Structure 1
């Protein structure tokens, strides 16, 4: 045991060596708008604890954007609680609420993203949680229409920043970015339909353990037109509808079994390149990042779709169709960070089914953390007006 005097001297020396950082302001909490007087007359204030209050993504302000047309935002989170397109385990209709629950701590210490050197909660952007799109659980076809309409409603509004500047949309406007909380992966089809109406065909980065480009007659048997659209066929339909740029789409994290080699052939017709999950052992995260960037490029508008089953079930057990041999949460977050600079105009995260999670909420936390990285990329890139080269008059 050190004498108390020696321990004190050591502490003093350590402080002297590192200096006193009086310029760092204290953490006031992630949501100052909720502060209130704790006791009558004491003059002090206190925010809700991170484990109390109503859950929004990262404790962001909540606005019912779909019913309030005058709301301004640069980035909005919206839920799509739909899971009637699943082939194995249902439950992703509870994904939006579960992800919000798993995101409670994101802003606990102020929200600064150390690896990306940005704070997506405190930046140039107005960021809101717009709640959920009202989605029926009784009519598959009508539900997909609801999702497309709700997403397009939010996507095509004037943003809070640079609303009068040129942007990459079909009408030459700057649009806000929308991140959708799923829901099973079927929701990506109506979301891409919405994106296509605003931007035209887009490049897609698809993180998943499954291809999701299966022909309906192979996956599900397609007894009806409605049954042919599900969470394994939506990219087939997207390709058939001309929603994708066929020369610049990529899957990452694939490790599924197939009906046969022809599945890969059909995948090529849909315009995708494949990065197998096992490639991380050979080329590392840096190699996977390089493949994605080379395939997608840094100029075209990009849609990012993240199925939580990209992660190994050890890290994300609560999903509809788990596959072993996936990436770790650390690997996935590193790969997402490596996409810095890409023109990501919108994104989704899907297949989070909280009922299958552990008491520790492993999957919902992993989903929230992945979205935190995607959100940070969008904030770093700036408004979508930054995706358009300025004219000579503007220089």
Structure 2
């Protein structure tokens, strides 16, 4: 029975103001009527109030403004037996509210101000970037400098699933990214990234949505992803070829993203941020069970090297700390695939600068693909992932390294293994992934 409360809390000025209802009853304007005006104080509401007064269901008595409200019926006010003088004191204390009571609303059919972006609602894209169907051949003439696309796939995991929900979680984490210079970007005020705002440029940055990937057959799903990535690369940017950032999904999806990028840019220098090497021979991980499972989130880099997508000896693992499966074979095979590595603890001895200097010397001028498995972070910074390993990097350490890679020719990237079902209530894993994409986006915008 809350319909009677909208006009009974009155200010001193409001109690003195009198309007006439349609049937001639003296009717006081409420405080909310004074503030919100015609938004709530309509002819229909005045008629309704007059009817309640006529039935003696409400009153504006000076003894008690809730005089005729029965507590058992109006529980909201059962503990609010405010005397009139106390009510006036509170209203006077907040008197500034009455200084600007008038508000002018647009015409009822005016929708010009409804075209903006609301961080709490609407169709959620990464950072509010525009979207269209990037896979439609009739749209290939539209420019895309940087595409952001989701790959909702997690049937290549060996432990905890849930990464198929990663793209949506990352987009939700990016709702507040609407532009503005980040004073921490670039790590110093002398960095060329220090004054960069990647969200306010003349570039065409598009959220392409998610590639539809079947959960029933990995072969079909990965083929769908390849064709989706290939379709995005069929576009061109205002300033060169399209670059793609893929949101996983488990790490298996990187193979198809690498294939599509390789077909566009040639052999790639891969910077692989992960707690696991992911170059395991399929005979060691998965393939010994079935041929079908030989391609998974721990073997995709083996296949990428085998297929020739990688620039051998220009690739690095960063943040490694998971045990090998075959102690005598795995590290040797990893080097055969073209990788050198930094363990997670190397940062303690050489610092972020030592890592960055080595990265730049190894990569050189090659086209660079950055792949970030969120489990490169310590579980305290990213609990929402499939295969956690303790002793990882902090979010700040990872972002410091990424933001120091200005000058690299970054042509593609992915952030994978975000599993929202295992994340905290505060969504720190998806927020970390959002920050990683933010840094990668800055590198791409600066390079373009």
TM-score over 0.5 (shorter chain): yes
Residues in 1 aligned to 2:361 and 2:105: alpha-carbon distance in whole angstroms = 58
Q: Secondary structure at the match of 1:65?
A: coil
Q: Would you say the 8 A contact 2:117–2:128 is kept in 1?
A: no
Which residue pairs with 1:56 in the alignment? 125
Which residue pairs with 1:278 in the alignment? 345
Which residue pairs with 2:170 in the alignment? 99
Which residue pairs with 1:128 in the alignment? 206
Which residue pairs with 2:182 in the alignment? 113
Q: 2:253 aligns with which of 161, 183, 187?
A: 187
Q: Alpha-carbon deviation of 1:221?
A: 3.8
Q: 2:283 aligns with which of 210, 217, 232?
A: 217
Residues in 2 aligned to 1:98 and 1:39: alpha-carbon distance in whole angstroms = 36
After TM superposition, the structure 1 = structure 2 runs for residues 1-395 of structure 1, keeping only pairs within 5 Å, are: 39-41=105-107, 45=113, 47-67=116-136, 68-107=139-178, 110-114=179-183, 115=185, 116=193, 117-159=195-237, 161-162=238-239, 174-259=240-325, 260-297=327-364, 299-382=365-448
TM-score, normalisation: structure 2:
0.71
Deviations along 1:229-249, one digit per CA (max 9) or x if unpaired, are 000000011111111111200
Q: Secondary structure at the match of 1:204?
A: strand
Q: Alpha-carbon deviation of 1:315?
A: 0.6
Deviations along 1:109-155, one digit per CA (max 9) or x if unpaired, are x3323322211111131111110111111111111111111101101
Residues in 2 aligned to 1:226 and 1:191: alpha-carbon distance in whole angstroms = 20
Deviating more after overlay: 57-66 vs 360-369: 57-66
Q: Alpha-carbon deviation of 1:211?
A: 0.1
Which residue pairs with 1:14 in the alignment? none
Q: Would you say the 8 A contact 2:125–2:207 is kept in 1?
A: yes
Q: Would you say the 8 A contact 1:206–1:305 is kept in 2?
A: yes
The structure with higher relative contact order (CA 8 Å, sep 6+) is 1
Residues in 2 aligned to 1:356 and 1:71: alpha-carbon distance in whole angstroms = 38
Highest CA radius of gyration, 1 or 2? 2
RMSD (Å), alpha carbons: 1.7
Deviations along 1:1-28, one digit per CA (max 9) or x if unpaired, are xxxxxxxxxxxxxxxxxxxxxxxxxxxx
In the alignment, structure 1 segments of 5+ residues that lack a partner are 1-37, 163-173, 383-395
Q: Secondary structure at the match of 2:351?
A: helix
Deviating more after overlay: 341-350 vs 213-222: 213-222
Residues in 2 aligned to 1:256 and 1:192: alpha-carbon distance in whole angstroms = 24
TM-score, normalisation: structure 1:
0.80
Q: 1:200 to 1:257 in 2, by over 3 A?
A: same
Residues in 2 aligned to 1:63 and 1:286: alpha-carbon distance in whole angstroms = 40
Q: Would you say the 8 A contact 1:156–1:198 is kept in 2?
A: no
